[in-house]
């Protein structure tokens, strides 16, 4: 299975880079993982709704340009569907079983995802109603994908 994470912004914090690298390494026997960063749109602290929409649109265009046409797209969104780790594992297993071997997870910038990206998504996934820094979300997501593969294989790790 090919797993792609498309994320807005550059990861700067060393501890997050190290954590993500560790889980990507652990995923090696199970799946090919690719992390693609698209530039975030520079924006002032306070913006009008129109300016916010423009920022999301520009970031959205960059995201959409990186998606493979055959990818099953999972957009991370607060208002998405909440899945347990076991349910995520079943979802990935079903995708692999039915020939959807390319899964792209999308993490938006600080303002969220453009409507066009959400419309392209096959699944909107929520990790809860709390707002998390999008850089931290990458680490959480990679860990959950690793956990899902361990669950699928019936291997120890998930408790």
Instruction: Give the pLDDT score at 134.
Output: 83
State residue 159's pLDDT score. 60
Residue 128 assigned to a binding site: yes
Check pLDDT > 70 for residue 158: no
130 known member of a binding site:
yes
CA distance 25 to 56: 32
Q: How confident is the model at residue 44 (pLDDT cuts 50, 70, 90)?
A: confident
Any binding-site annotation on 127?
yes
Per the annotation, does 112 bind a ligand?
A: no
Residue 45 CB-density burial (10 A; 0-12 exposed, 13-18 middle, 19+ buried) = exposed
User: What CA–CA distance (Å, rounded) separates 38 from 36?
Assistant: 7
pLDDT in tens, 48-95: 999 999 999 999 999 999 999 999 999 999 999 999 999 999 999 999
């Amino acid at each position: 299975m090919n797993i792609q994470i498309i994320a807005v912004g550059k990861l700067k914090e060393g501890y997050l880079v190290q954590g993500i690298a560790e889980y990507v390494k652990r995923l090696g026997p199970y799946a090919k993982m690719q992390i693609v960063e698209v530039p975030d749109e520079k924006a002032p602290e306070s913006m009008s709704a129109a300016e916010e929409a423009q920022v999301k649109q520009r970031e959205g265009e960059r995201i959409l340009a990186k998606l493979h046409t055959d990818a099953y797209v999972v957009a991370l969104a607060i208002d998405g569907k909440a899945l347990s780790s076991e349910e995520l594992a079943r979802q990935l297993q079903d995708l692999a079983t039915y020939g959807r071997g390319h899964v792209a997870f999308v993490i938006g910038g600080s303002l969220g995802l453009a409507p066009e990206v959400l419309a392209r998504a096959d699944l909107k996934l929520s990790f809860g109603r709390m707002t998390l820094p999008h850089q931290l979300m990458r680490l959480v997501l990679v860990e959950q994908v690793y956990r899902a593969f361990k669950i699928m294989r019936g291997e120890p790790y998930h408790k």
